[in-house]
Amino acid sequence: MRKIDLEAMGLRAVNELLQSQREYTNETAWEILNPRGSHAIAAGIDAPIEVTVNGSTGYYCAGMNKRATIKVNGRVGPGVAENMMSGTVYIEGDASQYAGATGHGGLLAIKGNAGSRCGISMKGIDIVVGGNVGHMSAFMGQAGTLVVCGDAGDALGDSLYEARLFVRGSVKSLGADCIEKEMEREHLLLLEDLLERANMHVSPDEFRRYGSERKLYNFDLDNAY
């Protein structure tokens, strides 16, 4: 494992080094030391490498990730894994607001809690949160899956499209066009797989499913007031 002292090397140089890695690199394991809340750490990686960040980070950590496995041993600021394409991002602590925003693919696993708008405008990413999520999570979620092992705040799934939502705890309120749906075997199997990959040790049977009622797909005069 190659160790990098971010404080000594500087953020730009660290990210340029990680972004320069290619598919057949021999340096597949990296460890970043002294992140000290810096922003945009390990952003824009496009290689099947493993990066461990030992400490907490600022906003947009692991943004635009593609193929890499990134683990943060600490907390993360707003927008972790924003616009993620593939790969896996593990957060050992809590995440601030809009975690996984606009993510197109891959898995984001947050061991702690996530703030407001978790999964906003998600487009295919799978997000598993071990704790609670804040208000308006999965707002305008288009595709992908949000799994919440704790509770969800106000307006869950507001203006939802086809993203799948699963909540183990309570939901303070549902957003516009979001309703509870029947849990079927295919959903239990999906949950089981995601929970296992995210290393969350809870039973799929304890969750409830939510999704779009599909009343906002077409214009309705009654919705204009």
Domain layout of the chain by residue ranges: 2-223
pLDDT of residue 224: 59
Does residue 221 have a pLDDT over 70?
Answer: no
**CATH annotation of 2-223:** 2.160.20.60
Does residue 219 have a pLDDT over 70?
Answer: no
Task: Give the model confidence (pLDDT) of 44-61 as tens digits.
Answer: 999 999 999 999 999 999
pTM for this prediction: 0.95
Percent of the chain's residues with pLDDT above 90:
92
Instruction: State the pLDDT confidence band at 200, using cuts at 50, 70 and 90.
Output: very high
Instruction: State the pLDDT confidence band at 223, using cuts at 50, 70 and 90.
Output: low
In terms of phi and psi (left: phi > 0; alpha: psi -120 to 50; beta: otherwise), the region of 182 is beta
